[in-house]
Amino acid sequence: MYSDLPTTLTAPAREAAAITPSNETDLAAMSRAVYVGSTGDLAVTMAGGQPTVFRNVPAGAILPIRARRVLSDGTTAGDIVALW
């Protein structure tokens, strides 16, 4: 019923993909949010190019961030999923 509606900034994510952190490879698409399944730090490159580390992210957290890359250096969190 709602699958044909356009995706807006306030709409829930329509796609998801597991992330393998990498210092060299961007995500397939800029994230709308990032799910963290296992507690730890999440090091990312934000949409604007700024490197940022989110410390002590709890398991099950959904961070509403526009990330272009999840970095392997500095990321200790696990079971990470990009949401689009």
Reported pTM? 0.91
> What's the pLDDT at 11?
80
Q: How many residues does the chain have?
A: 84
pLDDT in tens, 19-49: 999 999 999 999 999 999 999 999 999 999 9
CA Rg value for the chain: 13
User: Are residues 12 and 81 in contact, defined by beta-carbon separation less than 8 angstroms?
Assistant: no
Q: Compute the distance between CA of residue 16 and CA of residue 70 in angstroms, rounded to an integer.
A: 15
Q: Which residues contact 81 (CB under 8 A, 6 or more apart)?
A: 16, 17, 18, 19, 34, 35, 37
- Mean pLDDT across the chain, nearest whole number? 93
For the chain, domain boundaries: 16-83
